[in-house]
């Protein structure tokens, strides 16, 4: 299924809004329900205010009513496969089990696949928010 996701990610990557960096990124994920959701990076002149492709695909998934990621692909116009940034790794981990495969690809055909657990070992999750004796 990752070839279909890479194709979908590449199609949306071409629509990325990246006038400042010219670093276009596309992401496509398949939810456990079998639906494909896509996102692309959207830059902003106030640089930290941009949105990553992975975050856009996750937002599209949630907006469509799906809640869990079964597989995700990310593609960039780079010389080597680019992993999701730290914030996106945490976002992916919020909606994906540790064994979910993340395929990173380039527009020239290189790929690298890793699991969510490999990308984000020791991930922070809701269990870390439990406090002894209840809320503080």
Any binding-site annotation on 18?
no
User: Is position 49 annotated as part of the catalytic site?
Assistant: no
Nearest by Cα to 74 from 98, 45, 52, 44:
52
Q: Which listed residue (49, 54, 71, 94) is catalytic?
A: 54
For the chain, the 3-state helix, strand and coil shares in percent, each to the nearest 5, are 35, 30, 40
Q: What is the dihedral of CA 71, 75, 80, 81, to 10 degrees?
A: -20
Any binding-site annotation on 32?
no
Any binding-site annotation on 10?
no
Any binding-site annotation on 40?
no
Any binding-site annotation on 44?
yes
- Residue numbers annotated as active site: 54
Annotated binding site for Zn(2+): 52, 85, 88
Annotated binding site for substrate: 41-47
């Amino acid at each position: 299924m990752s070839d279909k996701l890479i194709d979908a990610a590449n199609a949306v990557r071409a629509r990325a809004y990246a006038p400042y960096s010219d670093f276009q990124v596309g992401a496509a994920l398949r939810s456990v329900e079998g639906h494909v959701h896509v996102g692309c990076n959207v830059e902003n002149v106030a640089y930290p205010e941009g949105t990553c492709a992975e975050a856009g695909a996750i937002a599209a998934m949630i907006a469509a009513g799906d809640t869990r990621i079964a597989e995700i692909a990310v593609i960039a116009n780079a010389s080597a496969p680019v992993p999701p940034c730290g914030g996106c790794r945490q976002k992916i981990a919020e909606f994906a089990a540790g064994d979910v495969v993340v395929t990173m690809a380039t527009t020239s055909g290189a790929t690298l696949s890793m699991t969510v657990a490999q990308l984000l070992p020791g991930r922070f999750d809701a269990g870390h928010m439990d406090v002894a004796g209840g809320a503080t």
